[in-house]
Amino acid sequence: MPQRPAACLFDLDGLLLDTEPAHARAWQEASTRFGRPLAGAELLSLRGRRRLDCASQVQQWIIAAGGAPLSVQELLAVRQPIAEALLATAPAMPGAEVLVRRCVALGIPMALATSSAQQAVAVKVAPHPWLTLIRERVHGDDPDLGGGKPAPDPFLLAARRLGVAPTACWAFEDSSAGVAAALGAGCRVHVLLPPGVGCQAYPEGVICLNSLEEVELD
């Protein structure tokens, strides 16, 4: 058993909250409305990335398929109302609350390292008061943040704010972009496997989980 982490750095979407189906549905409905349905692999590639980065990618797909030129703002104007309605009722992932409370009990510092903007996080976490136990948060629109995932910046910033070395942290992720970011920061990376995705889809050295209930902190 490895040494207890100096801190735990958590992704939010698809890791602590089961929001990814809502995100995927919102992108799918918005893109389809502009004449370009998204394939499963395309939707999977959007996981873990900031909203504007995702919107730019979907915009490119729509235009490349011969759709009428549209702005990122026009795409988001369709996508955001769909997403917000769905995200407000997203449930917790199995084992998420227990894991967070276990960190508190053991005195392990925690931070969120999420690609979601602060306002979006507020909507999603409102039904889950246990998430207030994670006081340090790095949002996708954090003014101190450089690049978004897959750049390592979110995890480096989270570790710096906690006053711990990134290499002494355990990072918990579910997306390829997030795993790349956490590995780039030097964290010990745990990946919660999305439905239908095997451990072989991720780099060597990550710890694959089928559920957060499998995590052992001591």
Domain boundary among 63, 87, 111: 87
pLDDT tens sequence across 106-148: 999 999 999 999 999 999 999 999 999 999 999 999 999 999 9
Residues 102 and 188 in one domain: yes
Same domain, 138 and 74: no
Question: Which residues are part of the catalytic machinery?
Answer: 11, 13
Q: Rounded to an integer, what distance in angstroms lies between the CA atom of residue 72 and that of residue 57? A: 9
Q: In what order do the strands lie in the sheet with 188-192?
A: 136-138, 110-113, 7-10, 169-173, 188-192, 207-209
Q: How far apart are CA 210 and CA 198, in angstroms?
A: 10
Query: Do 113 and 209 belong together in one domain?
Result: yes
The helix/strand/coil state of 204 is coil
Q: How far from the centroid of its chain's Cα atoms is residue 119's Cα? A: 15
Kindly report, residue by residue over 154-188, the tens digit of the pLDDT: 999 999 999 999 999 999 999 999 999 999 999 99
In a domain, 180, yes or no: yes
In the chain, how many domains are there? 2
Say if 95 falls within a structural domain: yes
Provide the domain limits for residue 57. 20-87
Tell me the pTM: 0.88
Residues 6+ apart with CB under 8 A from 38: 27, 28, 31, 32, 58, 61
